[in-house]
Amino acid sequence: MRIVNRVFELREAIKTWRSNGESVAFVPTMGNLHAGHLQLVSTAKKKADRVVVSIFVNPTQFGAGEDFETYPRTEREDQEKLAAENADLLFQPSVADIYTSDAKTIVTVTGLSDLYCGASRPGHFTGVATVVSKLFNIVQPDIALFGLKDFQQLTVIKTMVRDLNIPVEITGVDTVRESSGLAMSSRNGYLTDAEKKVAPKLYYSLCAARDTILTGNRNYADIEQQAMQFLQQAGFQPDYFSVCRSSDLKKADAEDMDLVLLVAAKLGKTRLIDNIYFSR
Protein backbone atom coordinates (compact mmCIF):
# COMPACT_ATOMS: atom_id res chain seq x y z
CA MET A 1 0.00 0.00 0.00
CA ARG A 2 1.36 3.38 -1.00
CA ILE A 3 1.04 6.30 1.46
CA VAL A 4 1.02 9.88 0.15
CA ASN A 5 0.48 13.23 1.81
CA ARG A 6 0.39 15.69 -1.06
CA VAL A 7 -2.34 16.26 -3.61
CA PHE A 8 0.01 16.11 -6.61
CA GLU A 9 1.34 12.70 -5.50
CA LEU A 10 -2.17 11.32 -5.27
CA ARG A 11 -3.14 12.70 -8.67
CA GLU A 12 -0.03 11.21 -10.30
CA ALA A 13 -0.88 7.76 -8.94
CA ILE A 14 -4.49 7.98 -10.10
CA LYS A 15 -3.41 9.28 -13.52
CA THR A 16 -1.32 6.13 -13.97
CA TRP A 17 -4.25 3.90 -13.00
CA ARG A 18 -6.56 5.75 -15.36
CA SER A 19 -4.11 5.35 -18.23
CA ASN A 20 -4.32 1.60 -17.63
CA GLY A 21 -8.12 1.71 -17.79
CA GLU A 22 -8.56 0.99 -14.08
CA SER A 23 -11.55 2.18 -12.03
CA VAL A 24 -11.17 3.91 -8.66
CA ALA A 25 -13.16 3.56 -5.43
CA PHE A 26 -12.76 6.05 -2.58
CA VAL A 27 -13.33 5.68 1.16
CA PRO A 28 -12.98 8.98 3.07
CA THR A 29 -12.38 8.61 6.83
CA MET A 30 -11.15 10.55 9.84
CA GLY A 31 -9.00 7.63 10.98
CA ASN A 32 -9.10 5.67 14.25
CA LEU A 33 -10.31 2.85 12.05
CA HIS A 34 -12.59 0.06 13.26
CA ALA A 35 -14.38 -2.88 11.64
CA GLY A 36 -16.99 -0.56 10.12
CA HIS A 37 -14.34 1.34 8.18
CA LEU A 38 -12.67 -1.88 7.09
CA GLN A 39 -16.01 -3.16 5.79
CA LEU A 40 -16.13 -0.07 3.55
CA VAL A 41 -12.68 -0.92 2.20
CA SER A 42 -13.61 -4.57 1.67
CA THR A 43 -16.74 -3.56 -0.22
CA ALA A 44 -14.76 -1.03 -2.27
CA LYS A 45 -12.34 -3.75 -3.36
CA LYS A 46 -15.26 -5.61 -4.92
CA LYS A 47 -16.53 -2.57 -6.81
CA ALA A 48 -13.39 -1.11 -8.40
CA ASP A 49 -9.89 -2.01 -9.57
CA ARG A 50 -8.19 0.39 -7.16
CA VAL A 51 -9.10 1.65 -3.69
CA VAL A 52 -8.04 4.98 -2.22
CA VAL A 53 -8.62 5.66 1.49
CA SER A 54 -8.17 9.09 3.02
CA ILE A 55 -7.51 9.87 6.67
CA PHE A 56 -8.17 13.51 7.47
CA VAL A 57 -9.56 14.88 10.71
CA ASN A 58 -11.51 17.75 9.21
CA PRO A 59 -11.49 20.83 11.48
CA THR A 60 -14.40 22.57 9.75
CA GLN A 61 -16.95 19.97 10.82
CA PHE A 62 -16.17 20.40 14.53
CA GLY A 63 -17.99 23.11 16.42
CA ALA A 64 -16.82 25.22 19.35
CA GLY A 65 -16.21 23.04 22.39
CA GLU A 66 -16.24 19.80 20.37
CA ASP A 67 -13.47 17.21 20.36
CA PHE A 68 -11.27 18.21 17.40
CA GLU A 69 -8.09 18.44 19.48
CA THR A 70 -8.76 15.22 21.36
CA TYR A 71 -10.27 13.21 18.50
CA PRO A 72 -8.41 9.87 18.50
CA ARG A 73 -5.55 9.75 16.02
CA THR A 74 -4.01 6.31 15.49
CA GLU A 75 -2.01 6.63 12.29
CA ARG A 76 0.33 3.64 12.66
CA GLU A 77 -2.47 1.22 13.61
CA ASP A 78 -4.66 2.59 10.82
CA GLN A 79 -1.92 2.07 8.24
CA GLU A 80 -1.44 -1.52 9.35
CA LYS A 81 -5.18 -2.24 9.14
CA LEU A 82 -5.50 -0.76 5.67
CA ALA A 83 -2.46 -2.66 4.41
CA ALA A 84 -4.02 -5.87 5.71
CA GLU A 85 -7.20 -5.03 3.74
CA ASN A 86 -5.11 -4.51 0.59
CA ALA A 87 -6.03 -0.87 0.07
CA ASP A 88 -3.98 0.50 -2.82
CA LEU A 89 -3.29 4.00 -1.58
CA LEU A 90 -3.68 5.94 1.67
CA PHE A 91 -4.00 9.72 1.38
CA GLN A 92 -3.05 11.51 4.61
CA PRO A 93 -3.02 15.25 3.90
CA SER A 94 -2.37 18.02 6.38
CA VAL A 95 -4.91 20.77 7.03
CA ALA A 96 -2.75 23.10 4.91
CA ASP A 97 -2.95 20.64 1.99
CA ILE A 98 -6.76 20.76 2.06
CA TYR A 99 -7.51 24.36 3.10
CA THR A 100 -5.65 27.46 2.03
CA SER A 101 -5.32 30.04 4.78
CA ASP A 102 -7.60 32.48 2.92
CA ALA A 103 -10.19 29.96 1.66
CA LYS A 104 -13.49 31.68 0.88
CA THR A 105 -15.62 28.88 -0.59
CA ILE A 106 -17.94 26.56 1.30
CA VAL A 107 -20.57 24.04 0.22
CA THR A 108 -23.91 23.94 2.03
CA VAL A 109 -26.83 21.62 1.35
CA THR A 110 -29.62 23.88 2.57
CA GLY A 111 -32.48 22.45 4.56
CA LEU A 112 -31.01 19.00 5.15
CA SER A 113 -27.99 20.47 6.92
CA ASP A 114 -30.14 22.23 9.50
CA LEU A 115 -32.08 19.18 10.71
CA TYR A 116 -31.33 16.73 13.54
CA CYS A 117 -27.54 16.67 14.05
CA GLY A 118 -27.31 19.89 12.04
CA ALA A 119 -29.56 21.66 14.53
CA SER A 120 -27.44 20.46 17.45
CA ARG A 121 -24.12 21.04 15.69
CA PRO A 122 -24.46 24.26 13.64
CA GLY A 123 -22.13 24.29 10.66
CA HIS A 124 -21.25 20.61 10.97
CA PHE A 125 -22.72 19.48 7.66
CA THR A 126 -21.34 22.50 5.83
CA GLY A 127 -17.92 21.33 6.99
CA VAL A 128 -18.71 17.80 5.84
CA ALA A 129 -20.06 18.84 2.44
CA THR A 130 -17.14 21.20 1.82
CA VAL A 131 -14.41 18.70 2.64
CA VAL A 132 -16.10 15.83 0.78
CA SER A 133 -16.56 17.97 -2.32
CA LYS A 134 -12.87 18.92 -2.14
CA LEU A 135 -11.82 15.28 -1.72
CA PHE A 136 -14.01 14.24 -4.63
CA ASN A 137 -12.35 16.92 -6.76
CA ILE A 138 -8.89 15.72 -5.69
CA VAL A 139 -9.48 11.97 -6.09
CA GLN A 140 -12.14 12.03 -8.85
CA PRO A 141 -13.30 8.50 -8.01
CA ASP A 142 -15.83 6.43 -9.91
CA ILE A 143 -17.49 5.36 -6.67
CA ALA A 144 -17.32 6.51 -3.04
CA LEU A 145 -18.44 4.49 -0.04
CA PHE A 146 -19.89 5.74 3.25
CA GLY A 147 -21.26 4.00 6.31
CA LEU A 148 -25.00 4.05 6.84
CA LYS A 149 -24.52 4.70 10.56
CA ASP A 150 -24.60 8.41 9.78
CA PHE A 151 -27.71 8.31 7.61
CA GLN A 152 -28.10 12.08 7.58
CA GLN A 153 -24.52 12.59 6.42
CA LEU A 154 -25.06 10.10 3.60
CA THR A 155 -28.25 11.90 2.55
CA VAL A 156 -26.44 15.25 2.56
CA ILE A 157 -23.64 13.86 0.38
CA LYS A 158 -26.02 12.17 -2.06
CA THR A 159 -27.95 15.43 -2.43
CA MET A 160 -24.76 17.44 -2.95
CA VAL A 161 -23.55 15.04 -5.65
CA ARG A 162 -26.91 15.22 -7.41
CA ASP A 163 -27.20 18.99 -7.22
CA LEU A 164 -23.63 19.72 -8.32
CA ASN A 165 -23.54 17.03 -11.03
CA ILE A 166 -20.49 15.41 -9.49
CA PRO A 167 -19.75 12.25 -11.53
CA VAL A 168 -19.37 9.80 -8.66
CA GLU A 169 -21.61 6.92 -7.57
CA ILE A 170 -22.39 7.07 -3.83
CA THR A 171 -22.83 3.74 -2.06
CA GLY A 172 -23.97 3.30 1.53
CA VAL A 173 -22.68 0.29 3.45
CA ASP A 174 -24.59 -1.24 6.35
CA THR A 175 -23.63 -0.37 9.91
CA VAL A 176 -21.25 -2.79 11.62
CA ARG A 177 -22.26 -3.47 15.20
CA GLU A 178 -20.63 -4.85 18.29
CA SER A 179 -22.08 -8.09 19.67
CA SER A 180 -24.19 -5.95 22.03
CA GLY A 181 -25.82 -4.18 19.08
CA LEU A 182 -23.96 -0.91 19.66
CA ALA A 183 -22.99 0.68 16.34
CA MET A 184 -19.22 0.81 15.94
CA SER A 185 -17.85 4.33 16.18
CA SER A 186 -14.51 5.97 16.81
CA ARG A 187 -16.16 7.82 19.69
CA ASN A 188 -17.11 4.59 21.50
CA GLY A 189 -13.61 4.71 22.95
CA TYR A 190 -14.71 7.67 25.07
CA LEU A 191 -17.25 5.52 26.94
CA THR A 192 -16.47 4.30 30.45
CA ASP A 193 -16.93 0.61 31.31
CA ALA A 194 -20.23 1.42 33.01
CA GLU A 195 -21.44 3.47 30.03
CA LYS A 196 -20.56 0.64 27.61
CA LYS A 197 -23.17 -1.49 29.38
CA VAL A 198 -25.84 1.18 28.89
CA ALA A 199 -24.92 2.28 25.34
CA PRO A 200 -26.55 -0.69 23.51
CA LYS A 201 -29.95 0.55 24.73
CA LEU A 202 -29.72 3.20 22.02
CA TYR A 203 -30.06 0.48 19.39
CA TYR A 204 -32.69 -1.27 21.49
CA SER A 205 -34.82 1.89 21.41
CA LEU A 206 -34.68 1.86 17.60
CA CYS A 207 -35.60 -1.80 17.37
CA ALA A 208 -38.52 -1.37 19.76
CA ALA A 209 -39.87 1.60 17.78
CA ARG A 210 -39.49 -0.23 14.48
CA ASP A 211 -41.34 -3.26 15.83
CA THR A 212 -44.14 -1.03 17.12
CA ILE A 213 -44.51 0.58 13.68
CA LEU A 214 -44.50 -2.80 11.94
CA THR A 215 -47.45 -3.90 14.11
CA GLY A 216 -49.47 -1.08 12.50
CA ASN A 217 -49.02 1.80 14.97
CA ARG A 218 -48.88 5.09 13.03
CA ASN A 219 -48.86 7.45 16.00
CA TYR A 220 -45.31 8.51 15.30
CA ALA A 221 -45.30 11.42 17.73
CA ASP A 222 -46.22 9.05 20.57
CA ILE A 223 -43.58 6.53 19.48
CA GLU A 224 -40.93 9.27 19.44
CA GLN A 225 -41.97 10.51 22.88
CA GLN A 226 -41.86 7.02 24.39
CA ALA A 227 -38.41 6.41 22.92
CA MET A 228 -37.11 9.70 24.34
CA GLN A 229 -38.49 8.81 27.78
CA PHE A 230 -36.94 5.34 27.61
CA LEU A 231 -33.53 6.79 26.78
CA GLN A 232 -33.73 9.38 29.52
CA GLN A 233 -34.65 6.75 32.09
CA ALA A 234 -31.76 4.58 30.88
CA GLY A 235 -29.28 7.37 31.65
CA PHE A 236 -28.94 9.11 28.29
CA GLN A 237 -29.41 12.78 27.53
CA PRO A 238 -31.46 12.35 24.34
CA ASP A 239 -31.12 14.96 21.63
CA TYR A 240 -33.73 13.64 19.19
CA PHE A 241 -35.59 10.52 18.16
CA SER A 242 -37.37 10.97 14.84
CA VAL A 243 -39.48 8.85 12.50
CA CYS A 244 -38.61 10.09 9.01
CA ARG A 245 -39.06 9.34 5.34
CA SER A 246 -35.85 7.68 4.22
CA SER A 247 -35.83 9.56 0.90
CA ASP A 248 -35.52 13.12 2.23
CA LEU A 249 -35.54 12.85 6.05
CA LYS A 250 -38.76 14.80 6.39
CA LYS A 251 -41.13 13.78 9.15
CA ALA A 252 -43.00 10.63 8.14
CA ASP A 253 -46.74 10.48 7.88
CA ALA A 254 -49.12 7.52 7.84
CA GLU A 255 -48.86 7.07 4.06
CA ASP A 256 -45.07 6.80 3.90
CA MET A 257 -43.75 3.28 3.32
CA ASP A 258 -39.94 3.67 3.40
CA LEU A 259 -38.86 4.91 6.81
CA VAL A 260 -35.73 5.65 8.78
CA LEU A 261 -35.60 6.11 12.54
CA LEU A 262 -32.90 8.57 13.58
CA VAL A 263 -31.58 8.96 17.11
CA ALA A 264 -28.86 10.96 18.85
CA ALA A 265 -28.12 11.06 22.55
CA LYS A 266 -25.29 11.84 24.93
CA LEU A 267 -24.12 9.23 27.38
CA GLY A 268 -21.84 10.91 29.87
CA LYS A 269 -19.60 13.08 27.69
CA THR A 270 -20.02 10.97 24.54
CA ARG A 271 -22.48 11.82 21.78
CA LEU A 272 -23.83 8.72 20.03
CA ILE A 273 -25.93 8.45 16.89
CA ASP A 274 -27.68 5.50 15.27
CA ASN A 275 -30.54 4.63 12.94
CA ILE A 276 -32.66 1.85 11.47
CA TYR A 277 -34.20 2.04 8.00
CA PHE A 278 -36.95 -0.27 6.80
CA SER A 279 -40.07 -0.55 4.69
CA ARG A 280 -43.39 -1.23 6.32
- The set of catalytic residues is 37
* Start-to-end C-alpha separation, the chain: 44
| Phi and psi angles of residue 222, each rounded to the nearest 5 degrees, phi first | -70, -40
